[in-house]
A = this chain, B = another copy of it.
């Protein structure tokens, strides 16, 4: 699995999904091409999926929001006759490296979170219309929709057969959504998750596993009816026309580096670190949202988000040994602030809302990225508003204090804006500043009082916004030693440590999926009962059951 995985795709290249747009209703069909696997060695039978299938789905969900703002209801269906979706492809899982499995699951989780949140964030409600077997990751797709409809025939059922059949968990949110979203009674959830064939008909509704069970003869009509009803009840304002998400401007280099228009990814494989520099805008902010809309995907704030998103995904799946991300920004803080301010002043404009919602998702993707992150606030940097969120998403931050000999860039500053106080919360529901100052909530208010002020090092430290400030004498050595040391630690220990330290405070379904369910799944993905030569994943399809070590831990 050494070819570069590309997260950019467009509708003309879809192999696994179809979308019909019908006014406020979009009909989304999963119809996986079994020969279209991302890697060799497995067939994507029975609408099973691999990362390639999910990259297309993520693209659809994203385009739905930017290119098709007229859509108010999305109906997810199977394009095949007897199966809705068999879940993640088992042979793919059996053959994949641990790191690929974990990052595959993370991306699929992010995609499900995105369409689940589309109702609240953008007024796009997802209905899942289930006909045929809906198993494992298939049912997890359904669980992330806002409304699940199941046909009542002898073969249509929902199931989570992972534990009994494969010795792994329904790890793409399945266990968490069953208990926390659908609030299935725990003993019923236990029976359900231990029953390979799943639950069908009235019992599925009685147990809260689906929202509605419909006789097969009336199923298709009822689905259409519900879609119409939900669209009619939607409070989403009508928007006639979206913007096109045109291809990214990017160049991949052989050493793992990538050059985008606003993002520079500089890999240093020997040092196991990668520096990601976000560049401030080169042009003035659009005059208004009409001008912004005319710029479309070329508008700076959207372009930057898309490029950053792509860069993170590239590093996650293609450069697993770059364990340390060093964040940098360069640019004119005031010019950047004007671009951001246009969006913040127009949060009721559909496109401003979508761009900010997208920033929220990208920053969440940063939060759950399993790399150590250090932000450097050098002279000439542009840590303002949303860009300053990188300081608070990082595990720690260092800031240049006073002038540096021979460095004539503008003195390093950090500037907070309204965007740091609400629109881009973390998965735990708090802003990054609220999470940071859990022990001293008054510090959040003190930070808010400084909105718009370019804070130099001492002030930024005094307000608790950076971890450490260093002057010209100490900077180079201290930073070098710190980065070298960090890059030398065990990646696994750092992953566990960061996953715990980054999400203090309240838990949400999202943090439980990434923090708790994922951790258990990762553990199981290392255990011989699942992945060993006699484990269930390897033996799947052979007719011989996994040979288990029966010790409980």
Question: Interface on A for B, CB 8 Å cutoff?
Answer: 98-99, 102-103, 162-164, 166-169, 175-176, 178-180, 182-191, 193-194, 208, 272, 320-323, 370-371, 394-397, 435-440, 464, 467, 485-486, 489-502, 504-507, 512, 515-517, 519-524, 526-527, 529-530, 536, 546, 548-553
Given A103-B553, A504-B179, A553-B98: A521 touches B546 (CB 8 Å cut-off): no
Q: Which of B439, B495, B517 contacts A185 (CB 8 A)?
A: B439
In the complex the two chains form, is B183's CB within 8 Å of A321's CB? no
Chain B residue at minimum C-beta to C-beta distance from A525: B523
* Min CB gap A516→B, angstroms: 5
A323→B552 contact, CB < 8 A:
yes
- Would you give 29 A-B contacts (Cβ < 8 Å), ordered by A? A98-B553, A163-B489, A169-B497, A169-B500, A175-B497, A175-B500, A176-B500, A183-B439, A183-B504, A190-B395, A272-B550, A370-B552, A370-B553, A490-B527, A490-B536, A490-B548, A491-B551, A491-B552, A492-B524, A493-B530, A495-B552, A496-B520, A496-B521, A496-B523, A499-B516, A500-B516, A500-B517, A519-B523, A523-B523
A546: chain B residues at CB < 8 Å are 490
Separation in Å of the A383 CB from the closest CB of chain B?
14
Q: A187-B397, A492-B530, A515-B516 are in contact. List 9 more A-B contacts (CB 8 A).
A: A166-B493, A167-B489, A167-B492, A178-B501, A194-B489, A490-B527, A490-B529, A496-B521, A516-B519
Asked if A493 meets B163 with Cβ closer than 8 Å, knowing A180-B504, A523-B526, the reply is yes
* A529 close to B492 (CB less than 8 A): yes
By the criterion CB–CB under 8 Å, are A321 and B552 in contact?
A: yes
B439 touches A208 (CB 8 A): yes
**B439 near A501 (CB under 8 angstroms)?**
no
Chain B residues positioned under 8 Å from A498 (CB to CB) = 190
Contact call B502/A186, Cβ cutoff below 8 A: yes
The smallest beta-carbon distance between A4 and chain B, in angstroms, is: 16
Chain B residues with CB under 8 Å of A103's CB are 553
User: Do A496 and B191 touch (CB < 8 A)?
Assistant: no
User: Which of A180, A371, A485, A553 has the most chain B CB within a 10 Å cutoff?
Assistant: A553
Minimum C-beta distance from A215 to chain B (A): 25
Least Cβ–Cβ distance between A15 and chain B, in angstroms: 28
Cα distance A124–B302 in the bound complex, in angstroms: 57
Chain B residues lying within 8 Å of A520, measured Cβ to Cβ, are: 495-496, 499-500, 519, 522
B residues less than 8 Å from A495 (CB atoms) = 520, 552-553
Tell me the bound Cα distance from A19 to B441 in angstroms: 40
Residues of B within 8 A of A440 (CB): 183
Contact A505 B180 (CB under 8 A): yes
Q: Contact between B187 and A394 (Cβ–Cβ < 8 Å)?
A: yes
A254 vs chain B, min Cβ distance (A): 20
CB of B522 within 8 A of CB of A553, answer yes
Q: Is the CB of A193 within 8 A of B548?
A: no
- Whether A501 contacts B320 in the complex (CB less than 8 A), given A493-B163, A512-B507, comes out as no
Cβ of B496 and Cβ of A169 under 8 Å apart? yes
Contacts of A190 in B (CB 8 A): 395-396, 467, 497-498, 501
Q: How far is the CA of A164 from the CA of B372 in the complex (A)?
A: 13
**Residue in B closest to A468 when the chains form the complex, CB atoms:** B191
- What 4 pairs between A and B have smallest CB-CB spacing? A183-B439, A519-B519, A167-B490, A496-B520
B-side contacts of A553, CB under 8 Å: 98-99, 102-103, 320, 370, 491-492, 495, 522
Contact of A467 among B187, B370, B491, B522 (CB under 8 A): B187
- How far apart are the CA atoms of A551 and B438 in the complex, in Å? 32
Once bound together, how far apart are the Cα atoms of A548 and B496, in whole Å? 15
Q: Which residues of B contact A180 (CB under 8 A)?
A: 504-505
Closest chain B residue to A183 by CB distance? B439
Asked if A496 contacts B467 (CB within 8 A), the reply is: no
Question: In chain B, what residue has the closest Cβ to A174?
Answer: B500
> In this complex, which of A186, A190, A323, A394 has the most chain B Cβ atoms within 10 angstroms of its Cβ?
A186
Asked whether, in the complex, the Cβ of B500 is within 8 Å of the Cβ of A185, the reply is no
Q: Using Cβ atoms and an 8 Å threshold, which residues of chain B touch A549?
A: 491
Interface residue from B186, B490, B530 paired with A490 (Cβ < 8 Å):
B530
CA distance A371 to B436 in the complex (A): 37
Question: CA–CA, A188 to B185, complex, Å?
Answer: 40
Q: Which residue of B lies closest to A506 (CB)?
A: B507
**CA separation between A187 and B432, bound complex, in Å?**
12
B548 touches A491 (CB 8 A): yes
Task: Considering the complex, give the chain B residue whose CB is closest to the CB of A324.
Answer: B552
Q: Which residues of B contact A502 (CB under 8 A)?
A: 186
Q: Are B550 and A524 in contact (CB under 8 A)?
A: no
In angstroms, how far is the closest chain B Cβ from the Cβ of A421?
A: 18
Contact B516 A187 (CB under 8 A): no
Residues of B within 8 A of A519 (CB): 516, 519-520, 522-523
